[in-house]
């Protein structure tokens, strides 16, 4: 019986097996590495270990503009745990990279941490993502604490994940939490590898991990200012221009000072200004937030942004709706393109059935956006061309071989009505 199967079994009366709390690292909390000499020592320590390297990184989302890592946690069997402060050691990490970049790394939700680690010159030769492994194995909950409890019977207590990790010095309780996050990762990796092999999904996982490893950071989304909270209440183009100019001014300040934009000026204040469009500093300061002591010092910056929006000629105002870069929202398909709507309905139904059969979430079987584009763009003239067309589009869209092998035949059947 696998570790996962054992956890599912529970007691004879159906109650779950209790978990054992992880309260402190087995070797204690190590000193944080903050010097070049410390980096060299850490590299030598990890070089003397064996097996994969457990990796985690703590950022300061919600506090800082950048996605940089403010603490890096590393653990390897036979070596123990290293806690690294990458801010003072940023230019001294070559000895560490020489050791760990040749190893398999084990991370949970690797796509969150890999870009920040790559900025430090740290990149894995191979990757195992325990969160993604949980998705492929059909786990209903794939957070680290939930999986460690389900698979290993250990309790990782939540604490400081959303803290401001740019704080210095870091409190001891935070460091304890950080060290515990990497302690069970390799054991979890091994248990999940056995479970995925038992389900016949080991190769699927290998392809997914390699895809994540090579993906790089996501491309910036166009017109990010349109993601301002409650922008839907602004119904005119001039108001949208005010939102855009205030957002851009805030973003420039946030990037320069490395402070989260919402801490420079909240979205609610941007929307209030777009609705009121004040013409004087006094009118601006009469609005919520803008009259506060911190914002009063920046009144001229914000009013200048509003004045730029007010001075724009009509042809330079942003459209009420963002320009489409792909298919329209599926809710509009039935009216404008009923054939595409029928294709999408059939495709979604077939993928939902397949998802149930293989216990993999639909979004992990194949990108929903890719399915939408295939159904909307449809360049097929006969049923005989359907499978070739879907295969070609999925290859172009980056679908992995295991995904195509599973989904292309099923979508071909769904979209041709064949058995």
Indicate if 229 and 207 belong to the same structural domain.
no
Share of the chain above pLDDT 70, in %: 95
Select from 276, 293, 316 the last residue of a domain. 316
List pLDDT tens digits, range 185-198.
Answer: 999 999 999 999 99
In a domain, 50, yes or no: yes
Residues 150 and 43 occupy one common structural domain:
yes
CATH of the domain at 244: 1.10.150.80
DSSP H or E segment with residue 181: helix 172-182
Q: pLDDT by residue (tens digit) across 254-271?
A: 999 999 999 999 999 999
- 323 located within any domain: no
208 and 233 together in one domain: no
What is the rounded average pLDDT of the residues 281-299?
A: 94
Average model confidence (pLDDT) across the chain: 93
Residue 181 lies in a domain: yes
Q: Are residues 199 and 236 in the same domain?
A: no
**100 occurs within a structural domain:** yes
Are residue 21 and residue 138 in the same domain, yes or no?
yes
User: Are residue 115 and residue 230 in the same domain, yes or no?
Assistant: no
Domain boundary among the residues 188, 215, 242 is at: 215
Same domain, 179 and 46: yes
User: Would you state the structure tokens that stand for residue 73, as one six-digit string?
Assistant: 């946690």
Q: What is the mean predicted confidence (pLDDT) over 48-67?
A: 96
Residue 291 has pLDDT above 90, yes or no: yes
Q: Is residue 338 part of a domain?
A: yes
Entry pTM: 0.90
**Co-location of 62 and 207 in the same domain:** yes
pLDDT at position 381 is 87
Assess whether 270 and 374 both reside in one domain: no
Residue 141 and residue 46 share a domain: yes
pLDDT at residue 159 in the model? 75
Among 173, 193, 215, the domain boundary falls at: 215
> In this prediction, what percent of the chain has a pLDDT beyond 90?
86
Which domain range does residue 338 map to?
Answer: 330-416
Within this chain, do residues 190 and 47 fall inside the same structural domain, yes or no?
A: yes
* Domain count of the fold of the chain: 3
* 32 & 143 share domain: yes
What CATH number is given to the structural domain containing 24? 3.30.420.10
CA angle 156, 158, 159 (to 5 degrees): 125
For residues 54 and 75, is the Cβ–Cβ distance under 8 A? yes
What is the pLDDT, as a whole number, of residue 2?
42
User: Is position 324 within any domain?
Assistant: no
């Amino acid at each position: 019986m696998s570790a996962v199967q054992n956890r599912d079994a529970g007691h004879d009366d159906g109650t779950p097996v209790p978990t054992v709390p992880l309260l402190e690292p087995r070797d204690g909390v190590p000193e944080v590495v903050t010097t070049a000499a410390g980096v060299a020592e850490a590299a030598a320590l990890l070089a003397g270990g064996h097996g994969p390297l457990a990796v985690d990184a703590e950022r300061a989302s919600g506090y800082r503009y950048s996605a940089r890592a403010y603490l890096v946690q590393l653990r390897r069997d036979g070596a123990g745990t290293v806690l690294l402060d990458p801010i003072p050691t940023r230019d001294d990490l070559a000895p560490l990279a020489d050791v760990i970049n040749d190893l398999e790394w084990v991370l949970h939700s690797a796509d969150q941490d890999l870009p920040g680690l790559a900025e430090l010159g740290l990149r894995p030769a191979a990757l195992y993502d325990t969160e993604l492994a949980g998705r492929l194995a059909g786990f209903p909950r794939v957070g680290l604490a939930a999986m460690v409890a389900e698979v290993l019977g250990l309790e990782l207590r939540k604490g400081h994940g959303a803290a401001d990790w740019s704080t210095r010095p870091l409190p001891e309780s935070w460091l304890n939490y950080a060290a515990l996050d990497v302690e069970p990762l390799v054991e979890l990796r091994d248990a999940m590898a056995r479970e995925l092999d038992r389900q016949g999904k080991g190769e699927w996982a290998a392809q997914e991990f390699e895809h994540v490893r090579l993906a790089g950071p996501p491309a910036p989304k166009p017109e990010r200012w349109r993601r301002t909270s409650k922008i839907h209440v602004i119904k005119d183009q001039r108001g949208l221009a005010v939102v855009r100019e205030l957002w851009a001014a805030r973003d420039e300040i946030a990037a320069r000072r490395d402070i989260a934009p919402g801490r420079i000026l909240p979205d609610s204040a941007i929307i209030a200004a777009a609705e009121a469009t004040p013409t004087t500093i006094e009118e601006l300061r009469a609005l919520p937030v803008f009259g506060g002591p911190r914002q009063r010092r920046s009144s001229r910056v914000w009013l200048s942004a509003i004045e730029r929006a007010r001075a724009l000629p009509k042809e330079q105002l942003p459209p009420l709706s963002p320009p489409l870069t792909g298919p329209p929202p599926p809710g509009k398909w039935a009216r404008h393109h009923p054939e595409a709507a029928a294709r999408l309905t059939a495709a979604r139904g077939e993928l939902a059935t397949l998802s149930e059969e293989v216990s993999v979430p639909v979004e992990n079987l194949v990108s929903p956006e890719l399915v939408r584009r295939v159904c909307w763009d449809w360049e097929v003239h006969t049923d005989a061309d359907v499978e070739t067309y879907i295969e070609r589009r999925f290859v172009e869209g980056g679908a992995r071989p295991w995904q195509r092998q599973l989904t292309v035949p099923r979508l071909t059947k769904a979209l041709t009505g064949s058995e």
